[in-house]
Amino acid sequence: MITLLLILFPLVASLLLFFVKGQQVKNIALGAAIIEFAIAIFALSQFKQDASMQFVWNSAWVQSMGITFHVGIDGISMLLVLLTTFLVPVIILTSFKNEHKNPSAFYALILFMQMALIGVFVSLDGFLFYVFWELALLPIYFICLLWGGEDRARITFKFFVYTLAGSLFMLGGLIYLYLHTPGTHSFNIDAIYAAGRGMDVVHQGYVFWAMFIAFAIKMPIFPFHTWQPDTYTTAPTQGTMLLSGIMLKMGTFGLVRWLLPIAPLGVEHYANIAIGLAVIGIVYASCIAIVQKDFKRLIAYSSIAHVGLIAAGILSMNVQGVQGGMIQMLSHGVNVVGLFFIVDIIQRRTNTREIQSLGGIRNVNPQFAVLFLFILLGSVALPLTNGFVGEFLLLNGLFQHNAWIAAFAGLSVILGAVYMLRSYQSIMLGETNSITSSFAPLEKSEKVVLLIICAAVIAFGVFPKPLLDISGPAVDQLVQGVQAALGK
Amino acid sequence: MYPIVLLGLITTFVLNIFDWDTNKLYFKMVQFDNYAVAFTAVIIVIAFLWFIMAEGFFKEESNQTDYFALVLFSLVGAVIMVSYSNMAMLFLGIEILSIPMYILAGSNKTDISSNEAAFKYLIMGAFATGFLLFGIALIYGATGSFDLSGIAAAVTNGRAISSIFYVGVLLMLVGMAFKVSAAPFHFWAPDVYQGAPTVITAFMATIVKTAAFAAFLRLFSATFMSVSGTWMHVVWIMAALTLLVGNITAVMQSSTKRMLAYSSVAHAGYMLLALLAGNSYSNNAILFYAAAYSVGSIATFSIVNMITKSKGTDTVDSFNGLGKSNPLLAVVMTIALLSLAGIPPTAGFFAKYYIFTSAFVAGNVALVLIAIIASLIGVYYYFRIIIAMFFKHSSDETIAVESNHKLLLIVIAIAIIALGLMPDCIISLL
């Protein structure tokens, strides 16, 4: 029941928001998002910390096709539901200083997107998963198209077609699995799992590629990343936050929930190619990030590097890798939203994102410099920040898979520090120039957002155990199932 | 006249529903099985929506009654086409449907392109009918029967069939392919669709297409299935060609009406996939696809019609800024286009999904891949209109929309989403 509420509440709120006039819609949207977060917290308080699927809601939908409206939350879903419900109010709050034209549609689309994202994370039916997956694409497309920057029509369209192409491959894979379920066929997640595991390595390989490409485009993993830097740069700040903070996790979540359990043999067979692509992406994106002039674009590339590590860890198919992936999804979501908000704050005050033309903001606004530094340290995974926990587990998992690949992927830590610290240096330190000398102090809403994010960065860096405990049992069970299917 | 027609359609719909599960056979000519009832119901609902959309078309004409009569005759033909059990009735149904359409396509008497459309449609249609009749004659020669069950029995009872039977099947295939505008027999469609008055184009793209596909499927899935080796490969190639030619050519059009004409050709390609699959999914797949596609098309053609009336042109640019000037039109158009493009949660998505499943079950994986690529191309041209509506700006004034049209568009938008969310109400019928 509570799962259904988590899906329906943002949907209803979004439909109502369309009819609210004026800028006050911000407050209503924020209120709705906070209520949604409260529902998620309530779900967490009722959540039993074991591997079982909880709050299950299962009702018939398209009976003749074996499609059900089957949703539920286990530890893996819980973390992502928490991430989504936590970030959406933060993202809405970041927009308080932006005057968007037609605000009711803007906020309605954000809440609609939240509905679809939660749907993706709680679906226990292949078809339902696909519908939510596609449903999440529509609002973000319109957010980017209507409120984005220069040349947005072309860029957002490329993004749409790219991800849609990936999704259609996944749909093909799902239909293929569906037709291998016994009897009158079913999209139930357990039936799909069984169908996938019943195949030999060749057929699991087909399923692997069909689904992996869809997930790889969404994340994105090299060489499917070409839509991402342009889209992130052009999208309005809140759109970029939704894309990078939450939507990208659909891909990594897809790996954990769908790909590993369905096609363990296929994953094992192609793991080195897939991990290889992810790791190449890490190094490649980091190198490009180093030479970026535009700070927003730099963070877009850094996101490719981070998500590559998450994917590589998950695909190594051991407990540390998958658990690290889960934690890093959360940390990356929080940190990247913080970084994009910092870009937004700087851009609104100076009308530029060019790293070289900025400088010396610390002298004008030390408070901002401190908050920025915390988020940045989380992003470069300094110990005692949230980024460290996930990155450590991921590299540990990857090391168990293959020490050489892990060593290569470990470069991301060094390169990440290079581009983040260098950009911090040239934006915040040094001489104050004419552009930055009039850098206005932080507004109240901006302070609140940055403090919330900094608090999350530190709290989960010092004390990550509660988060690890939520997903731990579910991840253990999942990895055991996968290892059993591999005959280990 | 107008209320009487609407009332008549409602009555027919109700009477039609009463025939459910009765499987009546009239004079060994027309069989009202569930297949016929379901397709008749879809056709009547679409016709009802179409009449509301076309109200202006009738009002403008001095001799309204003629036009009503022609359209209703055409509907009779459509109903016969979905329920025939005898080759003679198939032929009569097609002709009763087509002849009024030849006239209606030319009803814009002062417009040269409308005249051209009517003439082209007549010549091409007559040509196709020729093929069809020749095919019927050859099949009669080989089996000694016009009756569908008689022909099926003659084919399956093991007796050696004369080779002219196979020629007959292929000739009928050509004739039917003309009617559903499948490539390479689609060349008439874009010109006729563009030249005819927009409301008549909407009628052709929805009701005529649905009836033609129902007839096509009834003939080939039931009667000619046992000789599927003869025509399967041909239809395979036709489906692939239709998908690619329809979608790729649509990309290059600047006139939205012509773009929708090519998209209509492309949609025939998807339906051919289900026809080719020839399994338990096929009937439902085509029924659902026809319903989903027709509902979406009524909305798009109706909006194109309004745009053309107020701006005098139907290019993609004429949609610029519609999102600001007429949000209702823009939102309904977006939902309809998303449905045609096959994006969840619309009816068009489920229709495509169902077709893909039926093709997968039949083992036509390569064709599904072609269809997926074709769908992606389709997204390109449908989204051109969406981008124009919401992204580009123009100083054009708000288009005045009558309240009954507003209601129609809202109903259609709800129907598109409702069919997408609850497809069971149609796909569990057959």
Tell me how close the Cα of B118 comes to any Cα of chain A, in angstroms: 38
Residues near A404 by beta carbon (within 8 Å), at least 6 away in sequence: none
pLDDT average, residue stretch A126-130: 94
Chain A stretch 56-85, residues whose beta carbon is closer than 8 A to a beta carbon of chain B: 61-65
Residues near B277 by beta carbon (within 8 Å), at least 6 away in sequence: B285, B358, B359, B361, B362, B364
Instruction: Tell the burial category of B184 from Cβ atoms under 10 Å away from its Cβ (0-12, 13-18, 19+).
Output: exposed
pLDDT band at A152 (very low <50, low <70, confident <90, very high): confident
Element (H, E) at A316: none
Cβ–Cβ below 8 Å for B372 and A168: yes
Nearest C-alpha neighbor of A449 from the set A65, A60, A93, A35: A93
Q: For chain B, what is the domain count?
A: 1
In chain A, the percentage of residues whose pLDDT exceeds 70 is: 100
CB atoms within 10 A of CB B13: 16
Cβ–Cβ below 8 Å for B427 and A65: yes
Q: What is the number of CB-based contacts under 8 A between chain A and chain B?
A: 64
- Say how far apart CA A164 and CA A158 lie, in whole Å: 10
Residues near A455 by beta carbon (within 8 Å), at least 6 away in sequence: none
Confidence check: pLDDT of A309 > 90? yes
Tokens (6 digits) for B56: 């202006």
DSSP letter (8 states) at residue B223: I
Cβ–Cβ below 8 Å for A172 and B372: yes
Chain A stretch 165-194, residues whose beta carbon is closer than 8 A to a beta carbon of chain B: 165, 168-169, 171-172, 175-176, 178-179
Chain B stretch 324-343, residues whose beta carbon is closer than 8 A to a beta carbon of chain A: 338, 343
- Say how far apart CA A286 and CA A371 lie, in whole Å: 23
What end-to-end distance do the CA atoms of chain B give, in Å? 35
- Say how far apart CA B397 and CA B226 lie, in whole Å: 59
Phi, psi at residue A325, to the nearest 5°?
-60, -45
Cβ–Cβ below 8 Å for A64 and B338: no
Query: How high is the pLDDT of residue A310?
Result: 94
Q: Which residue has the tokens 């004079």?
A: B27
ipTM, interface predicted TM-score of the complex: 0.91
Q: Which residues of A touch B338 (CB under 8 A)?
A: 138
Put simply, whether B387 touches A (Cβ < 8 Å) is yes
Nearest C-alpha neighbor of A303 from the set A396, A455, A412, A383: A412
- Say how far apart CA B117 and CA B140 lie, in whole Å: 34
Confidence check: pLDDT of A178 > 80? yes
| Higher-pLDDT residue of B73, A183 | B73
Pairing label, strands B24-26, A67-73: unpaired
Instruction: Tell the burial category of B101 from Cβ atoms under 10 Å away from its Cβ (0-12, 13-18, 19+).
Output: buried
- How many residues are present in chain B? 430
Nearest C-alpha neighbor of A218 from the set A247, A256, A257: A247
Query: How high is the pLDDT of residue B118?
Result: 94
Confidence check: pLDDT of A204 > 70? yes
| Higher-pLDDT residue of A413, B413 | B413
Cβ–Cβ below 8 Å for A145 and B372: no
Tokens (6 digits) for A197: 């595991």
Cβ–Cβ below 8 Å for B357 and A178: yes
Query: How high is the pLDDT of residue A65?
Result: 86
Q: Which residues of B touch A112 (CB under 8 A)?
A: none
Q: Where are the domains of chain A?
A: 2-485
User: Contact at 8 Å (CB) between B129 and B215?
Assistant: no
pLDDT tens-digit map of A257-270: 999 999 999 999 99
Put simply, whether B345 touches A (Cβ < 8 Å) is yes
Nearest C-alpha neighbor of A445 from the set A27, A23, A24: A27
DSSP letter (8 states) at residue B399: P
Mutate to test the interface with A, among B343, B373, B416, B421 (most CBs of A within 10 A): B343
- Say how far apart CA A194 and CA A262 lie, in whole Å: 7
- Say how far apart CA A32 and CA A10 lie, in whole Å: 7
- Say how far apart CA B22 and CA B25 lie, in whole Å: 9
Tell me how close the Cα of B286 comes to any Cα of chain A, in angstroms: 16
- Say how far apart CA A208 and CA A177 lie, in whole Å: 11
Query: How high is the pLDDT of residue B158?
Result: 61
| Chain A, nearest residue to B377 by Cα | A161
Put simply, whether A47 touches B (Cβ < 8 Å) is no
Nearest C-alpha neighbor of A325 from the set A260, A408, A419: A260
On the question of a cis peptide bond just before residue A383, with omega within 30 degrees of 0, the verdict is: no
- Say how far apart CA A54 and CA A75 lie, in whole Å: 9
Tokens (6 digits) for B212: 């033609």
- Say how far apart CA A123 and CA A254 lie, in whole Å: 11
Q: Which residues of B touch A169 (CB under 8 A)?
A: 372
On the question of a cis peptide bond just before residue A10, with omega within 30 degrees of 0, the verdict is: no
Tokens (6 digits) for B225: 């299935």
Tell me how close the Cα of A341 comes to any Cα of chain B, in angstroms: 25
> Which CA distances in Å does B377 have to A160, A165, A211, B2, B249?
12, 10, 21, 40, 10
Query: How high is the pLDDT of residue B159?
Result: 66
Mutate to test the interface with B, among A130, A131, A140 (most CBs of B within 10 A): A131
User: Contact at 8 Å (CB) between A436 and A350?
Assistant: yes
Position B169, amino acid: V
Residues near A211 by beta carbon (within 8 Å), at least 6 away in sequence: A169, A170, A173, A254, A258, A259, A262, A263
- Say how far apart CA B223 and CA B239 lie, in whole Å: 20
CA of residue A367 relative to chain centroid, distance = 28
Instruction: Tell the burial category of A392 from Cβ atoms under 10 Å away from its Cβ (0-12, 13-18, 19+).
Output: middle
What domain range includes position B391? 2-427
Query: What is the CA angle B27-B31-B34, rounded to 5?
Result: 155
The overall average pLDDT reported for chain A is 91
Cβ–Cβ below 8 Å for A142 and B390: yes
pTM equals 0.93
- Say how far apart CA A262 and CA A462 lie, in whole Å: 35
pLDDT tens-digit map of A35-92: 999 999 999 999 988 888 899 999 988 888 889 999 999 999 999 999 999 999 999 9
Put simply, whether A11 touches B (Cβ < 8 Å) is no
Residues near A441 by beta carbon (within 8 Å), at least 6 away in sequence: A365, A367
Position B82, amino acid: V
| Chain B, nearest residue to A178 by Cα | B357
- Give me the residues of chain B with pLDDT under 50, please: none
Tokens (6 digits) for A356: 């070289």
Q: Which residues pair with B86 in a beta bridge?
A: B147
Tell me how close the Cα of B357 comes to any Cα of chain A, in angstroms: 7
In chain A, the percentage of residues whose pLDDT exceeds 90 is: 65
Confidence check: pLDDT of A148 > 90? no
User: Contact at 8 Å (CB) between A217 and A281?
Assistant: no
- Least CB-CB distance to A134: which of B344, B380, B424? B344
- Least CB-CB distance to B387: which of A131, A145, A171? A145
